[in-house]
Structure 1
Amino acid sequence: MTFTLGTDRLLIRDWVEEDTEAALEIYGSADVSQWLSPAIDKVGDAATMRVILQAWIEAQPNFVVPAGRWAVVRQEDGEVVGGLLIRLLPPYEEDLEIGWQFRPTAWGNGYASEASRALMKWAFEEGSTDELFAVARPNNKRAIATAVRLGMEWVGETDKYYDLNLQVYRIRASEFKAIKL
């Protein structure tokens, strides 16, 4: 089953192996990788990125809705500009995290907010979740600003996720529905 979700400017879809070079522009960027949780090094080359994408593609059918990983494509030119995910946060795997990663050349266009808002709407309508969390390192001003733009509220700081000191933001389905989109 293929997943697609559209916005005015973007298409959210499953990753495919042909996205390797575009994905490398995201996950191979030190400007992106320095903020990833769990902490990982930037992806160094296309061969490594291809292996990672293959793992994501293989795992996708096994996720329970609304969890998954998706590519974000700009509709006007078909360029992959980012990635989205919804996954269980460690250590107890009770809380669902929404995350966004966009290539630096796509920053400042509102893509992260637009795509995340569409995915959140889908997750609340189709998934069996009533809340989503976002986590960000304290100095990651872009991620924090995006979480706030999405209507997420700061709920504190913790080191329980990924053994990193992280800012935690949350939005409940009822709060999301009250936001004017």
Structure 2
Amino acid sequence: MTVTLETERLLIREWVEGDAEAALEIYGAADVAQWLSPAIEQIADEATMKVVLHAWIEAQPNFVVPAGRWAITRKDDGEVVGGLLIRLLPPYEEDLEIGWQLKPAAWGQGYATEASRALMGWAFTDADTDELYAVARPNNHRAIATAKRLGMEWVGETDKYYNLNLQVYRMRAADFVS
């Protein structure tokens, strides 16, 4: 299922191979990579980013809706400013995680909240999802602030997911306000 969403300023679309340079500005940034869950190494170069993007693109059609990975682009200039994902959380793969990553130059402009709200709206209405979780490392103040701006409810701290100590936030479909 191809998902393309629009907000006032953003287009949320599937990743394409030509996004590697822009994606490297996100996933190759130390300020982004240090907060990723599961913990992954900072992507070192464009060739590695191309391999990762290729894997994401190949996997996309095989995800069970609403799971997937998407690029966040600005509508006014088409620049890729971030990425979004919905995936099953380990270890039991029952809970769905929503995640957002922005390149540092795009921080502080409300893009993560705007894009995540659009994706949540789609997941709750078109994909018939009951609830979504966001997980963040305790010192990832930006991610925690975004979860709060989205209206997500703090449900506690756990090491259940990814073997990391994480703050957990939840949004239920019945509580979602677009």
Query: How much does 1:21 deviate?
Result: 0.2
- Paired with 2:44 and 2:160, the residues of 1 have a C-alpha distance of 28
1:169 paired residue number: 169
Alpha-carbon distance in structure 2 between the residues aligned to 1:40 and 1:129: 27
RMSD: 0.8
Partner SS state of residue 36, structure 2: coil
In the TM superposition, residue 2 of structure 1 has moved relative to its aligned partner by 3.5
Distance 2:88 2:75 in 1: 29
How far apart, CA to CA, are the structure 2 residues paired with 1:64 and 1:171? 20
Secondary structure at the aligned position of 2:170 is classed as strand
Q: Distance in 1 between matches of 2:129 and 2:9?
A: 26
How many Å separate the matches in 2 of 1:5 and 1:92? 29
CA distance in structure 2 between the aligned counterparts of 1:144 and 1:42, rounded to whole angstroms: 21
C-alpha distance in 2 between matches for 1:131 and 1:175 = 9
CA positional deviation for 1:128? 3.1
- Alignment correspondent of 2:89: 89
- Contact 1:65–1:128 (8 Å) recurs in 2: no
Normalising by the residue count of structure 1, what TM-score does the alignment of the two structures yield? 0.97
The residue matched to 2:157 in structure 1 has which SS? strand
Paired residue for 1:105? Answer: 105
Q: Mapping of 1:13-162 within 5 angstroms?
A: 13-162=13-162
Q: Relative to structure 2, which stretch is displaced further, 124-133 or 103-112?
A: 124-133
Counterpart position of 1:3: 3
Letter in 2 for 1:38: P
Query: Could you say what secondary structure the match of 2:115 adopts?
Result: helix
Instruction: Report the alpha carbon displacement of residue 102 of structure 1 after superposing the two structures with TM.
Output: 0.2
**3-state SS of paired residue (1:127):** coil
Unmatched tracts of structure 1, length 5 or more? none
Paired residue secondary structure (1:168): strand
Does structure 2 retain, via aligned residues, the 8 Å contact 1:6–1:12?
yes
Tell me by how many angstroms 1:3 deviates: 2.4
Please identify runs of 4+ aligned residues in structure 1 that moved more than 4 A: none
In structure 1, C-alpha distance between the alignment counterparts of 2:142 and 2:125, rounded to whole Å: 27
Corresponding residue pairs, total: 178
Taking only the aligned residue pairs, the percentage that are identical comes to 78
Q: Is the 8 A contact 1:35 1:136 kept in 2?
A: yes
In structure 2, how many angstroms separate the alpha carbons of the residues matched to 1:33 and 1:158? 21
Q: Counterparts of 2:3 and 2:126 in 1: how far apart (Å)?
A: 12
Q: Is the 8 A contact 1:85 1:100 kept in 2?
A: yes
CA distance in 2, matches of 1:2, 1:171: 24
Give 3-state SS (helix, strand or coil) of 2:86's partner.
strand
List alignment gaps of at least 5 residues for structure 2.
Answer: none
Q: Measure, in 2, the Cα distance between the counterparts of 1:14 and 1:3.
A: 7
